[in-house]
Structure 1
Amino acid sequence: MAAVIRNADIFTAMEKWAPKHLAFDWDNVGLQIGSFQKPVKKIMVTLDVLESTVDEAVQHDVDLIIAHHPLLFKPMNQVNADTAKGRVVQKLLQHDMTVYAAHTNLDIAQGGVNDMLCDQLGIENRTILEVNHTEKLVKLAVFVPETHVSAVRDAMGEQGAGYIGAYSHCMFQSPGQGMFKPLAGTDPYLGSQGKLTFADEVKIETILPASKLSAVLKAMTAAHPYEEAAYDIYPVENSGQAYGIGRIGDLADKLTLASLCEKVKTAFEVPHLRVTGDLSKKVKKVAVLGGSGEKYLHKAKQMGADVLITGDMTFHPAQEAWEKGLSVIDPGHHVEKVMKHVTQSYLADYFAGRGVDIIVSHADTEPFQFI
């Protein structure tokens, strides 16, 4: 009989992709309303949690809503059902529906919203626009009897130990002799109580992100045959994986700014957009930042971008970018809807064959009309 999938299992899957610690400190990510322990059979992925979204979820008998934009972004002093936000909260509670948000952590994560936007535009050779987090690394060394080297090594690797660049399971092994004396009350795998024991062991050394240390230790000790696994943890000065907001990269071929605007409109299904700059100018290097990105104009220019694609531009920053020679394309904030189908696909693969149905919301949450 298959194990029951609970909301907490879905949250864990999301946080393997977009860890909560990547979110900006002003953000509110994770559980918004509901329960960690409720069983879940149907999930709906949405950009926003508006009343129309919740009505759609009710219609489809959804247990869990995964949203990009947090429902509870600012503190609520009261749940007033005479207001739009109050009605949303009331309906969610009435229908025992859980809401979970992955916002700036999903923007920043590898393969997250900004990478999705770049994928849609075919932007190559991309790097992070602005790094705001570098993973701290530690080194783990564990001493294992020869009979269990493969089991322990594989268990650690499966939990994220030993990843260096595009290589996984990067570890070093060295043979040696372990020594220990089992004391009263022990049940040793090798040796006998009160007697000094010598064992042929292998020292396995590997590097891993500090954020994954707990999971790696749990897997390691579960695979290790000893009652008390002997291991060492060392701080290291190596630079870990860098994470940050936005992406910058190259178009496959130079395009006029006007042609890039048409490409953006097609890729993101927007009928109109705003643009600054000479429409006949050829552009190659493009910075992309989903949502509101005007505060990154200077960074985009500094990194050599010909154009910044972002939403929610206001007059004076756009004017300043124009004067600096940085073109700006503003297709709106709503282009972050690209996260719906990618998140659906990720969760469908993660929980394949486990009885969880994942759908995307079709409710229109774009507030602007173009006339």
Structure 2
Amino acid sequence: MSLSAQQVIQLIEELAPKKLAADWDNVGLQVGAYDQRVSKVLVTLDVNRAVMDEAIAKEVDLIISHHPVIFKSLSEVRFDTEIGRIIRSAIKNEINIYVAHTNYDIAKGGLNDLLADKLDLLDVQILQPTFEDEVKKLVTFVPEESIDEVREAITSAGAGWIGNYSDCTFQMKGVGAFKPLADSTPYLGEEGQLESVKEVRLETIVPASKLKRVINKLNKVHPYEEVAYDIYPVEINGESFGLGRIGKLKASLSFVELIAQVKKQLGVADLRVVEPKVDTIKKIALCSGSGADLIKKAAFKGADLLLTGDLKYHDAELAVELGLGIIDAGHYGTEIIMQKGIVEYLKTKIQERGLEEIEVSSAKSNKGFIQIV
């Protein structure tokens, strides 16, 4: 059994659309073809020689990586470089390589939300907004007997969300008219004769990032051969996305207690820390990977501590000045959880959509590069 690479990638991009990625980033399909058949997927934090060897041994068709293989434009692919050897191996063994990097960091349900879940944070908010989704109004016209099926289909695909309310739609009855022409296969009516049908005008709002999926679902379930619909721009604020998260612990912890919890939840043996000004910690900011740029933002939003990686000397100095505690669990330590996160997400979505089952696994050979001795 297999899926096309496009089908698997579409599931990833429903979670983490490419437009969420930072301007400097390079995400998406970096090696391969969308129409290639995929029966085995390997999810990894990095694509290096060890991971490529593992993929070849497992006869993997698609690697989903967090960190890009091709970060900047390449003017040459040389086999005496690590990147060149990886690209050559991927092409030779017909292995696609797809990257979900900062778009997955930023996505709702992405890496930073996984990190917040590890700490059981409550009232989780975005730390640094970076993107606001546009909102569109969708209007379509449905025969009365099909209204429930169509409404359920488009709302389940992501339409009709307003704040804490789902399935928000408006309906108005009317009469539609049409004349089937030659070569048509009408749901109602006869070729060459004007037909009048009792219809329902169904309207709702859709995030622009989910519009394509909603329209695809509409076309799939609507009974008409040619589905009539209108899309209008709407001048309201859409859903916000951004880097990092900030939230509250279920119960206040001492610095020592929080250190122990982070080690346990992330499976990290060693941490670098900056002691917070407060005795007990309640509000935590976090950013997977390298989040030192968010030190000021975390302090401004009232965090007692920032959990991140890649802390530098002067970053720590700034944190002390602001009274902000830091736990540096490392770039690897704060991001390796993405492997399990994407594996579980893909397995769930494939089952929910009734797609052909494929093998999705987490890379075993991906190890952190830095050791403390």
Scaled to the shorter chain, the TM-score interval is over 0.9
Counterpart residue identity of residue 359, structure 2 = D
2:238 aligned residue (234, 237, 240): 240
In structure 2, relative to structure 1, the CA distance for the partners of 1:272 and 1:214 (3 Å cut) is closer
Write the letter of the residue equivalent to 1:11: I
Aligned length: 369
Q: Which residue of 1 aligns with 2:361?
A: 359
Q: Alpha-carbon deviation of 1:111? A: 1.2
Superposition map of 1:243-258 within 5 A: 243-258=241-256
Aligned residue in 2 for 1:311: 309
What is aligned with 1:157?
155
Q: Please identify, of 167-176 and 341-350, the stretch whose mean Cα deviation from structure 2 is larger.
A: 167-176
Please state how far the C-alpha of 1:362 moved relative to its aligned partner: 1.4
Q: Which amino acid is 2:94 matched to?
A: D
Which residue in 1 is equivalent to 2:296? 298
- Tell me by how many angstroms 1:237 deviates: 2.2
Q: Are the structure 2 counterparts of residues 5 and 166 from structure 1 closer, same or farther at C-alpha, using a change threshold of 3 Å?
A: farther
- Report the CA distance between 1:149 and its aligned residue: 1.5
Residue 10 (structure 1) aligns with: 8
Which residue matches 2:339? 340
**Which amino acid counterpart does residue 323 of structure 2 have in structure 1?**
G
CA 1:89/1:152 → structure 2, altered by over 3 Å: closer, same or farther?
Answer: same
User: Distance in 1 between the 2:297 and 2:151 partners?
Assistant: 42
Aligned with 1:305: secondary structure?
coil
1:38 aligns with 2:36: yes
Asked if the contact 1:40–1:63 (Cα under 8 Å) also holds between the matched residues in 2, the reply is yes
Does the 8 Å contact 1:132/1:244 carry over to 2?
Answer: yes
Q: Tell me which amino acid in the other structure corresponds to 1:262.
A: A
- The 8 Å contact of residues 256 and 279 in structure 1, kept in 2 or not, is answered as no
Q: Share of identical aligned residues, percent?
A: 43
Matched AA of 1:134? E
1:156-235 superposed matches below 5 A: 156-180=154-178, 188-191=186-189, 197-235=195-233
SS in structure 2 of the partner of residue 54 of structure 1: helix
CA distance in 2, matches of 1:280, 1:142: 56
CA distance in 2, matches of 1:228, 1:187: 9
Residue type of the alignment partner of 1:244: G
- 1:350 maps to 349
Aligned partners of 1:344 and 1:359 also within 8 Å: yes
Q: TM-score of the superposition, structure 1-length normalised? A: 0.92
Contact kept, 8 Å, 1:209 with 1:240, in 2: the verdict is yes
Q: Which residue of 2 aligns with 1:97?
A: 95
Greater shift in the superposed pair: 274-283 or 50-59: 274-283
Per-residue deviation, 1:213:
2.4
For 1:98 and 1:360, how far apart are their aligned partners in 2? Answer: 16
Instruction: Quote the offset at 1:141 in angstroms.
Output: 1.6
3-state SS of paired residue (1:26): coil
Shift of 1:273: 1.2
The one-letter amino acid paired with 1:204 is L
Q: Is there any run of 5+ residues in structure 2 with no aligned partner, and where?
A: none
Equivalent-residue separation in structure 1 for 2:73 and 2:20 (angstroms) = 21
Range with greater deviation from structure 2 (300-309 or 225-234)? 225-234
Q: Does the CA contact (< 8 Å) of 1:182 and 1:188 recur in 2? A: yes
Decide whether the 8 Å contact of 1:188 with 1:226 is kept in 2.
Answer: yes
In the superposition, relative to structure 1, how do residues 28 and 191 fare at CA in structure 2: closer, same or farther (>3 Å)?
A: same
- AA at the equivalent of 1:199: V
**Cα distance in 2 for residues equivalent to 1:354 and 1:188:** 32
Q: Give ranges in structure 1 of 5+ residues lacking alignment.
A: none
Shift of 1:168: 3.4
Q: CA deviation digits over 1:348-371, x for unaligned, max 9?
A: 222247231111111143111101
Change (3 A) 1:368 1:183: closer
Match runs of 1:256-335 below 5 Å? 256-278=254-276, 281-335=279-333
The answer to whether the 8 Å contact 2:276/2:305 transfers is: no
| CA root-mean-square deviation | 2.1
Q: Is the 8 A contact 1:258 1:280 kept in 2?
A: no
TM-score, normalised with respect to structure 2: 0.92
